Structures are given as C-alpha cells and as structure tokens.
C-alpha cells in the first residue's frame, strides 16, 4: 500500500527545488528591473521555511539535535561557498591585477581594514554592557572583512554596468577577495591575547610574549604566508597543466569550463587538511590561475557566444541562493530578543552605527589616494557598500571553535563564559542588517529618485505621452518591443547612439549591443512598417558585409544566433 515518505531528504530537496524554480521564473524581473538582491530574497525564503514559520527546513534535526554539529555544518558550508566564490573572483580580475594595483590594495588592506576593525570594536565596547575590550576586538574582527558574495551581487548586473565604472568594480572585487583571508590576523590577535592574558587571573601561562609569538608565527607565518604561497603554486601549476592538456586537445569543453570550480574544491579541502587559510589561498590561486588572462578570455568569449558556458555563473547563483536560504533557517532569531549579553534597545543602534561608521568615514578620508575612486559620490558608494555576510558568519564559527579550546577540566573558563553568546548575537545581527540594508538600498534609492520625477511629470504634462506618433495608449510599448531598435531609413546603418553593455564583472574583450531608447522612427517621424524594417536590415548587411538579423531587444536569455557579431571559427 503506497504511503507518504516525509523524510528530511525528500522535504528539503522539494522545498529547495521549488524555491529555486519559482525564483528563476522572476529572477530577471527582480534583479534587473527592481534591483533586488538574491541574497535578501533567499534569506527571507529561508525564514519562511524555517522552524520559526512553516517548519519545512529543520536544521537542528539534520544535525542530530546537536548545536555543535549544526555549527560545524554551517561553518563547512560557508567555507565551500567562500572557496568557490573567491576562486571565481580571482579569475574575474584582469591579468596581473594584484601586481599592477598593489598601491590602492595596500591602502584598502592596511589603513582601511585596521580602521574598520578598531571603529567596530569601539562601538561594540561602548554599547555592550560590561564587555572587556579584548572581547570587543574579537567581535569587531569577525565583521571587519567585506563579504565577497554580497560584493559580487552589488558589482554585477544592469545597475552596476550603467552606474559603476569598471575600474571601481574591479577594485571592489579585489578588496573583498583579499581582505576575507586577511581577517585572521585581526581575529587571532584578540583571541591569543584573551587566551594568555584574559581577565580575572584565569589566563593560561605564557603571557603577552607567548600570545605575540603565536600571532606572528602561527597566524602570519603558517596561516597567511603559507596560504599565499600554496595558492600561488597550485594556481600556477593548474594553469600550466590546463595549457598543456588544451594544446594537445586532451580536455573537452565541459571539463575546461568546470576547471576553476574543481580547483576551488581542491584548495579548500587541502588547506583544511593542513590547517591553513583556505579562503585567502583560493583567492590567490584564482588570480594566479588567470595571470596571463588566457583562461578568463577563453571563458569570456564562450560565455558570450554559447549558453553552455554559463556554468560558472550558474553555480555561483545556486550557491548564493542556497547559502542564504540556509542562513535564514539557522539564524538564532530568538536570541536577538532574549539573551544575557545585550538588550534589543542597544542591539538595534549597534547594528545601525556599525553600518554607518565601520567603513564610510574611512573610505571618505582616504579616497584621494585610491585612484579608482574619481569623486566623492564614488567614495560614498564604495564606503557604504562594504557588506557583512558569509565571511562574517565564517569568522563567527572560527571564534566559537577557538573558545572551546579554552575549556578547563571540561568547564568553560569564567572570563570567556559569555564571549560565545556575545559574538553569536552581534555577528548574526550585523550580518542580517547588512543583507537587508544593502539588499534594499538600490531599489529604495531608485524609487526615491524616480518617484518625485514621475509624479512631477504626471502633474505638469499637458498630454499623455502615449499619444505621441498618433498611437493609442499602450500600443507604443508593444511596437518598441517587437520592432528592432534601429533608425530606419533608405539603407541606413544601425543607430550609433547606442549604449555599450559590458559583461558585468567580466572585463576584457567586451562585446557590445546596440540599444536605443524609444521606438524606431523614420525621418518623417512615422513608425516604420515591417517591410521597411526588412529592407533596412538588408541594406545594413550589404554595407557591413555581415549578417544583422533583428532580435527581440527585451529577451533576457542570449542564444548563439542572437549575437550581432558572427561567431568565431572553431578549429577542428
């Protein structure tokens, strides 16, 4: 007799598949029209599916009822996402980018990061009752790095292409990738001092000298420098191996495209085995892997011409959606209201003040020495969009693991008894605030910019705009969507007043598409007929010597035959 199999596996994959499918149906509308962040939408969906709402996703049950197991699952999931994202971030950057732009990166990874750490720590120390300053330094270190996952969301898409200069996009990607791994020195500076100095006379023997010795030896030597060297060597060897195999036609296209993802998995796993900084190693490996720009340009051309090459951004999107859905389900929402360390009336101002003062004042003060920031508006943008997300949660669980090593005879050391709860509440709350605020900033900003102008135009306009060209309301939109956007005349060229459409964060050999605003018109202002469109296209083909078949301008999916440039010949 058939029966329902309501197992956790069946429920989870059903919910996950349904959500990704539903989100996919409106993804272009949400991201490119409303400028909504997929991280925010996925976080909210995770809350809806969590035990706090419908109880479709039950994280603690999957962890066999153990809070420690649940923390380990979240930590490993975060490591996986960061590893893949940082290899892809390194691959996105142009050839020798870290070498060419070392001066602005040195400012962003030196004075800017130190100032962000100290400012955040001071805010935590001032607003959390009875917290030692060393504990505040540990909490501040967790949220110091800017998150590469959320930063990628900000610098990709139509809004970024039209409003953020390419050089600014690249420096944001490079900073978010590099400073993620460099969060270790800030965090372990505080943690080692807590371990060997502590409060109340409960510190371990060795004192400050032992703490600084471990900080320089283990953190800088073993964790940071080893990970940089390891990432560079593995990235270079992977590049040479792929060159060797591709020259001899040993590798097929699918394996070629997935190579960067497999490299991310390998580095994340092996760095975990040796206990080094897998996050920084992945970013360095990705950058060295495309040091000669060969892999980046190969995948860029394939991405433009063939839909099968969208594997990397597809994996990227799936990881983003899944990780933030998981965060929405596992976030300790109840602890924001009920905890033993900070009341809600202090927690909310702390979240607001951290977003306002953790980064913007520092970038505004130092933007003159960062050549990619051209004016004060770009400085404000870069200062504000320094989100806290996956990297903050990652360092939270690194901190919780370290606190366990301070137990004495199976009991928590008295001076760090509340450190785990303080870090958990504050880091989760700031991360949630960042996802919400940065996820809504662009759509709310666009609404605040366009709404007054729209209302003013509606009130002052003497007639309905849809009456232009003698067309009834609503018809012009249909015509402009169906007819190709070219200025029609006898044998005319494509309209030269076109907007260049760079491929998001994939810089290099850019492919452009001609786009104009409004419906196409003849010199006499008439809407052209379909025969006029065909004759114009034929004239264009005769002039340029290449096909110029019209395509639907509002199509959100690119197919090979949609490209206005002929495909490159492929060697047999």
- Among 9, 65, 5, 12, smallest CA distance to 329 is for 12
Confidence at 411, pLDDT banded by 50, 70, 90: confident
- Among 241, 235, 244, smallest CA distance to 288 is for 235
Specify whether 315 is located in the same domain as 356.
yes
| Residue 462 in domain | no
d(CA 528, CA 486): 10
In the predicted model, what is the mean pLDDT of residues 264-281?
Answer: 93
Q: Using only the alpha carbons of the chain, give its radius of gyration.
A: 27
In the predicted model, what is the mean pLDDT of residues 155-184?
Answer: 85
Specify whether 71 is located in the same domain as 216.
yes
- Among 127, 68, 552, smallest CA distance to 344 is for 127
Q: Give pLDDT, residue 567.
A: 47
Q: Which residue has the tokens 């197919």?
A: 559
Confidence at 36, pLDDT banded by 50, 70, 90: confident
- Does the structure show a pLDDT above 50 at 387? yes
Assign residue 329 the CATH number of its domain.
1.20.1530.20
Specify whether 518 is located in the same domain as 441.
no
State which of 435, 451, 467 marks the end of a domain.
451
Length of the chain: 572
Grouping H, G, I as helix, E, B as strand and the rest as coil, residue 489 is coil
Which has more pLDDT, 502 or 328?
Answer: 328
Find which of 63-67, 356-360, 438-442 is predicted with most confidence, using mean pLDDT.
Answer: 356-360
- Does the structure show a pLDDT above 60 at 357? yes
In the predicted model, what is the mean pLDDT of residues 65-81?
Answer: 93
Residues of the chain with pLDDT > 70: what percent? 74
Residue 541 tokens read as 């083909």
| Residue 2 in domain | no
Torsion of CA 131, 136, 138, 143, to 10 degrees: 130
- Does the structure show a pLDDT above 60 at 476? no
Specify whether 440 is located in the same domain as 498.
no
- For 90-109, the pLDDT digits (tens) are 888 888 899 899 999 999 99
Burial (0-12, 13-18, 19+ Cβ within 10 Å), 423: buried
- Does the structure show a pLDDT above 50 at 266? yes
- Does the structure show a pLDDT above 50 at 422? yes
| Residue 460 in domain | no
- Does the structure show a pLDDT above 70 at 463? no
- For 503-542, the pLDDT digits (tens) are 333 344 333 333 333 444 444 444 444 444 444 444 444 4
| Residue 504 in domain | yes
Compute the half-sphere exposure of residue 247: CA atoms within 13 Å on the CB side of its CA.
Answer: 7
Q: Give pLDDT, residue 109.
A: 93
Average pLDDT of the chain to the nearest whole number: 79
| Residue 456 in domain | no
Q: Give pLDDT, residue 233.
A: 96
Confidence at 271, pLDDT banded by 50, 70, 90: very high
Specify whether 363 is located in the same domain as 489.
no
- Does the structure show a pLDDT above 70 at 488? no
Compute the half-sphere exposure of residue 212: CA atoms within 13 Å on the CB side of its CA.
Answer: 3
- Does the structure show a pLDDT above 60 at 571? no
Q: List, in sequence order, every beta strand (DSSP E) within 14-147.
A: none
Compute the half-sphere exposure of residue 87: CA atoms within 13 Å on the CB side of its CA.
Answer: 31
- Among 146, 145, 143, 165, smallest CA distance to 155 is for 165
- Tell me how many domains the chain contains: 2
| Residue 310 in domain | yes
Find which of 31-35, 174-178, 237-241, 251-255 is predicted with most confidence, using mean pLDDT.
Answer: 237-241
Residue 194 tokens read as 């807590």
Which has more pLDDT, 411 or 487?
Answer: 411
Grouping H, G, I as helix, E, B as strand and the rest as coil, residue 408 is strand
Specify whether 385 is located in the same domain as 508.
no
Which has more pLDDT, 335 or 547?
Answer: 335
Residues of the chain with pLDDT > 90: what percent? 46
Sign of CA dihedral 172, 178, 181, 184: negative
Specify whether 488 is located in the same domain as 374.
no
Confidence at 300, pLDDT banded by 50, 70, 90: low
Confidence at 119, pLDDT banded by 50, 70, 90: very high
- Among 145, 133, 138, smallest CA distance to 89 is for 145
Specify whether 421 is located in the same domain as 515.
no
- For 174-233, the pLDDT digits (tens) are 998 899 889 999 999 999 999 998 766 566 777 888 999 999 999 999 999 999 999 999
Q: Give pLDDT, residue 450.
A: 53
- Does the structure show a pLDDT above 90 at 545? no
Q: Give pLDDT, residue 198.
A: 77
State which of 451, 472, 505 marks the end of a domain.
451
Range of the domain at 522: 480-572
Q: Give pLDDT, residue 431.
A: 96
Confidence at 299, pLDDT banded by 50, 70, 90: confident
Residue 128 tokens read as 């959390």
Specify whether 500 is located in the same domain as 440.
no
5 CB-near residues (< 8 Å, 6+ apart): none
d(CA 390, CA 81): 8
State which of 400, 431, 451 marks the end of a domain.
451
Specify whether 436 is located in the same domain as 516.
no
Confidence at 459, pLDDT banded by 50, 70, 90: low
- Does the structure show a pLDDT above 50 at 122? yes
d(CA 381, CA 149): 17
d(CA 477, CA 465): 11
Specify whether 207 is located in the same domain as 346.
yes
Q: Which long-range contacts link 219-224 to residues 24+ away (Cβ below 8 Å)?
A: 219/184, 219/185, 219/188, 219/189, 219/192, 220/185, 222/275, 222/276, 223/184, 223/188, 223/275, 223/276, 223/277, 224/181, 224/182, 224/184, 224/185, 224/277, 224/280
- Does the structure show a pLDDT above 90 at 258? no
| Residue 88 in domain | yes
Specify whether 446 is located in the same domain as 484.
no
In the predicted model, what is the mean pLDDT of residues 332-348?
Answer: 94
State the alpha helices, DSSP H only, in 155-293.
Answer: 158-163, 166-181, 183-196, 207-214, 226-247, 253-274, 278-289
Full-model pTM: 0.78
Name which of 156-160, 335-339, 348-352, 552-556 the model is least confident about. 552-556
| Residue 466 in domain | no
């Amino acid at each position: 007799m058939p029966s329902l199999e309501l197992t956790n596996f069946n429920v989870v994959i059903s919910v996950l598949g349904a959500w990704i499918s539903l989100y996919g149906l409106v993804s272009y509308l949400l991201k490119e029209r409303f400028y909504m962040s997929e991280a925010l939408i996925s976080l909210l969906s995770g809350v809806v599916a969590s035990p706090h709402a419908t109880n479709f996703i039950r994280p603690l049950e999957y962890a066999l009822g153990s809070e420690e197991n649940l923390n380990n699952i979240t930590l490993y999931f975060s490591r996986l996402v960061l590893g893949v994202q940082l290899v892809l971030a390194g691959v996105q950057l142009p050839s020798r980018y870290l070498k060419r732009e070392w001066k602005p990166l040195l400012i962003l990874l030196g004075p800017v990061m130190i100032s962000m750490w100290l400012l955040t720590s001071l805010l935590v120390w001032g607003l959390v009752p009875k917290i030692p300053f060393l504990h505040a330094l540990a909490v501040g270190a967790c949220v110091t790095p800017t998150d590469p996952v959320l930063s990628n969301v900000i610098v990709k898409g139509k809004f970024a292409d039209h409003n953020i200069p390419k050089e600014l996009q690249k420096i944001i990607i490079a900073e978010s990738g590099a400073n993620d791994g460099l969060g270790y020195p800030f965090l372990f500076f505080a943690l080692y001092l807590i371990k060997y100095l502590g409060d109340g006379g409960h510190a371990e023997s060795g004192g400050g000298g032992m703490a600084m010795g471990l900080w320089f030896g283990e953190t800088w030597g073993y964790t940071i420098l080893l990970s940089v060297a390891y990432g560079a060597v593995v990235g270079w060897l992977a590049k040479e191996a792929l060159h060797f195999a591709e020259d001899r036609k040993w590798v097929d296209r699918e394996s070629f495209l997935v190579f960067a993802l497999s490299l991310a998995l390998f580095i994340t796993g092996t760095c975990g085995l040796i206990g080094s900084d897998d996050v920084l190693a992945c970013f360095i490996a990705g950058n060295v892997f495309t040091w000669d720009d060969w892999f980046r340009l190969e995948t860029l051309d394939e991405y433009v011409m063939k839909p099968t090459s969208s594997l990397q951004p597809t994996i990227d999107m799936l990881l983003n959606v899944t990780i933030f859905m998981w965060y929405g389900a596992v976030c300790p929402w109840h602890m924001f209201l009920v905890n033993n360390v900070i009341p809600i009336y202090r927690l909310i101002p702390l979240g607001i003040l951290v977003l306002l003062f953790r980064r913007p004042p520092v970038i505004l003060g130092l933007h003159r020495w960062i050549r990619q920031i051209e004016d004060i508006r770009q400085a404000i943008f870069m200062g504000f969009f320094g989100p806290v997300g996956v990297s903050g949660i990652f360092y939270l669980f690194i901190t919780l693991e370290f606190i366990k090593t301070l137990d004495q005879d199976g009991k928590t050391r008295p001076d760090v008894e509340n450190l785990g709860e303080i870090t958990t509440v504050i880091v989760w709350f700031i991360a949630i605030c960042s996802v919400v605020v940065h996820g809504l900033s662009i759509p709310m900003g666009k609404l605040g910019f366009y709404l007054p102008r729209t209302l003013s135009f509606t009130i002052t306009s003497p007639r309905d705009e849809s009456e232009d060209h003698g067309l009834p309301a609503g018809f012009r939109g249909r015509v402009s969507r169906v007819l190709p956007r070219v200025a029609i005349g006898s044998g005319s060229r494509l309209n030269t007043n076109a907007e260049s459409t760079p491929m998001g964060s994939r810089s290099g050999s850019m492919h452009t598409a001609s786009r104009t605003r409004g419906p196409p018109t003849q010199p006499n202002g008439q809407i052209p007929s379909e025969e006029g469109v065909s004759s114009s296209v034929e004239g264009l083909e005769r002039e340029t010597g290449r096909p110029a078949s019209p395509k639907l301008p509002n199509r959100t999916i690119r197919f090979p035959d949609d490209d206005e440039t002929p495909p490159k010949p492929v060697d047999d």
